[in-house]
Amino acid sequence: MRFFRISNLFVSFTFLTNSLVIAQQFQSFTDPRDGKTYKTVRIGGQTWMAENLKYNPQRGNYFIYNNDPVNYDKYGYLYDWSIACNVCPSGWRLPTNADFLELTNFLGANFKPKMMKTNSWPQADGANNSSGFSGVPGGVRDHQGNFRNIGMGAYFWSSTGIDGTWAYARELGSNAGNWASSEFGTNKLIGMSVRCVQNTSSSSNVSDDTEEVLDDEYVEREYEEPVTPQYSSSHPIKKGITEYTVYKTQYCEEEQDFYYNYTGEYACQPFKTESFKISINIHLNDPMYSEALLKMTNLKTKQVDDFEIEYVEELEDGSLSFVFSIINQPHQFILNTSDKTITWYSEWGHWTTTYYYR
């Protein structure tokens, strides 16, 4: 048992986790736009809504999961990114990716169960809600209009955009989907939940002398580009440009069960009839370029796609792996000269596309 000094009163709290104790002090906020009242909670130096937003903006793309009013009552609306950025009430905002980083750094390692509302998740997720964030598995509406993962995943927009198509988001739940990271980039057309954070910390209802026990060893950071390896002159990978003419393409996607868990089995099918030309230019230590540049030209449509390779690695079977990222998600091309294939492998997307060349 530990004792916390709050406003000159001593209050005892059970040690809720191995590394963190938070004084949960819920307050409430009433949205003047529609009169709805939300619980709020102070976590570290931030004040968060402890419920998903339910405001109807009367415009744009916002959704109720499966159009079921019961889901609206439990989980609120799912908003696309452009609406999410402007839907919080005055004095509140859609959190930036940095806001989420501040939150998770404060909560420490294994922060997800601390943010998940008890009795709302599968038992295996270990939800304890020690932070008071009270995340609920409201699911997602994907960019093709399919509702997915209710009861298993919570998805929250951040206001931090990546480019014209992508923005950062956050997820909770061990079966939330393909996301192997706490922060991930995703299509702005997807419908996700919104949690608003207060613009200032002046309304804190926990005094400054509240003692907090933090996990000092855990710090979540923004994505950082990998360090480029340095290669000796005797390295087996040689510089140069090689072209490959593709005559057949096959697409394989890992299958999912009813709960969207991946089974480890791949279903494959011919993907495209048109041919490709793939050019690989290996630079390695040339300071004017990345590690390598892979260019893919569709010989029918003439579309050209360039991929800047972060590093090149020789595998045990003698094939070459060309590693790169798309929106911070790991991908690689694997060149196998013995069977004359170039395989594009998406680690998080659970799919492969194999290009057979002559």
Please give the average pLDDT of every successive group of 10 residues along the chain, which has 358 residues.
32 38 72 96 95 96 95 96 96 94 90 94 92 95 87 93 86 68 75 94 35 45 61 78 92 73 76 82 74 90 90 86 81 93 85 91
Q: Beta strands 341-346 and 351-357: pairing type?
A: antiparallel
For residues 53 and 40, is the Cβ–Cβ distance under 8 A? Answer: no
The whole-angstrom separation of Cα 77 and Cα 188 is 16
Handedness of CA 354, 164, 51, 75 (dihedral sign): negative
Q: What is the pTM of this model?
A: 0.57
| pLDDT of amino acid 337 | 92
| pLDDT of amino acid 272 | 63
The closest alpha carbon to 237, from 295, 308, 322, belongs to 322
In the chain, where are the structural domains located?
2-198, 240-357
Residue 192 DSSP one-character state: B
| pLDDT of amino acid 15 | 37
185: part of which helix (H) or strand (E)? strand 183-187
For residues 118 and 129, is the Cβ–Cβ distance under 8 A? Answer: yes
Partner residues linked to 251 by β-bridges: 269, 353
φ/ψ (deg, to 5) at 323? -95, 135
Helices (H), the chain: 69-75, 81-84, 97-107, 111-114
Angle at 304 between CA 301 and CA 305, to 5 degrees: 130
